[in-house]
A = this chain, B = another copy of it.
Amino acid sequence: MSSRRKVVRMATDNRTRSPRSRPARQWPSMADVATMAGVSSQTVSRVANNRQNVDSATREKVLSAMQALGYRPNTAARALVTGRFGALGVVSFDVGAHGNARTLAAIADAAREADFSVNFMGVRAQTEAAVRHAFQHLMLQSVDGIVLVESQMLDTPSLRLPPAMPVVVADGDTGHDHPHVDFDQAHGSHSVVSHLLGLGHRTVWHLAGPVDSFAARRRAEAWRRTLTDAGAPVPPLVYGDWSARSGYRAGLDLARRPEVTAVFAANDQMAMGLMRALHEAGRSVPGDVSVAGFDDVAEAAYLPTPLTTVHQDFEVVGKHCVALLLDQIEGRTDGPLRRAVEPVLVIRSSTASPRPGTSA
């Protein structure tokens, strides 16, 4: 008899019910604090927002009530009213890569100083879909602005960004109207190539980063221009993928050509792989071949042959990104729209004049 009854009920319930569990969280609200302190919730709000028109005695009462209850303002409710989130979005490719990691860290530091948190979305594939997904998630009005650390080129010419969302592009395309922050790659490349030519090398080979990287492309372009301007022959471009492995592979090739006396690698990791290949092939650095990198990673100075490279100050980039974003968020329109950070050539032991007898 009871078995029949059991079957009858229960069917109406999971019909329209959401799969989520209930909030059930019991954070104290302003109302709780207000009750405890014997004031209105608006006064609590004033104290929470540090307004000046609150009597100091009242303020004390409220503060101690907050303390006692462990009150924390509810970001969601606040954001709903103010339209501000206290968060910046960062969309970036592979953070395992040195430059991107440093940039992210710098942005996060700068953001923290401005009392913003950083909502990070990593993008693995360089497809439009992946980037769009990352943006969509951030664009759900949960950040006040987005830094796009573009670095890699996409198949699509332009992303559709919501007009009301402040955006800053770092290390990326400049063919758009968003403010952007970049290292002056051309300057960096130029200083390396000039340095090597100045040492007496007939020309400088270039081990470039992947074709789909903005930075790699700019470094390569500046390399070519510097050679051309100096009247030096332009050797064929060699491509790597930023990894030490790819530098090694390219190095095996380059080591076989006696006419190669100077190589400018587009980053330090590739320079390391390159040096290893040269070493294996019995060509000394910088005796037979001069090698220069780009980035100045922490260990560049401590390689068997300390690496001549280009130092980049990521801290400054992060600060600039956040500053430009805050300009937009807070409605300032008088700030600059482009900030370039000058990299600095650091000359160590991996570059030297070519041996008198060589190919020149």
Contact = CB atoms under 8 A, between A and B. Distances in A.
- Which of A25, A75, A330 has the most chain B CB within a 10 Å cutoff? A75
Given A73-B140, A298-B269, A120 B122 contact: no
Given A53-B16, A301-B244, A141 B72 contact: yes
A299 B306 CA distance: 15
Given A15-B53, A75-B140, A120 B121 contact: no
Given A72-B141, A108-B122, A140-B74, A272 B303 contact: yes
Given A140-B74, A279-B304, A121 B118 contact: yes
Contact of A120 (B108, B140, B299): B108
**Chain A contact residues: helix, strand, loop or mixed:** mixed
B273 A302 contact: yes
B85 A96 contact: no
Nearest to A15: B53
A142 B15 CA distance: 30
B330 A304 contact: no
A183 interface: no
Interface stretch (A76-84, A185-193, A334-342): A76-84
B298 A275 contact: no
What's the number of copies of this chain in the assembled complex?
A: 2
A95 B85 contact: no
A84 B119 CA distance: 16
Interface in A83-113: 83-87, 90, 94-96, 101-102, 104-105, 108-109, 112
Nearest to A277: B302
A20 interface: yes
A49 B273 contact: no
A282 interface: no
Nearest to A268: B299
B108 A101 contact: no
Interface residues of A, number: 79
Interface string A293-321: 00000110111101000000000000000
A18 interface: yes
Given A23-B83, A82-B23, A302 B247 contact: yes
Contacts of A82: 20, 23
Interface of A: 15-16, 18, 20-21, 23-27, 49, 51, 53, 70, 72-77, 79-87, 90, 94-96, 101-102, 104-105, 108-109, 112, 115, 117-122, 124, 133-134, 136-142, 162, 164, 243-245, 247-248, 269, 272-273, 275-276, 279, 298-299, 301-304, 306, 330-331
Nearest 8 CB-CB pairs, A to B?
A23-B83, A244-B299, A76-B79, A244-B302, A101-B101, A95-B105, A108-B122, A75-B142
19 contacts: A25-B164, A26-B164, A74-B80, A74-B140, A75-B76, A76-B77, A76-B79, A85-B142, A90-B120, A95-B102, A95-B104, A112-B122, A117-B137, A117-B142, A245-B298, A247-B302, A248-B302, A269-B298, A276-B302
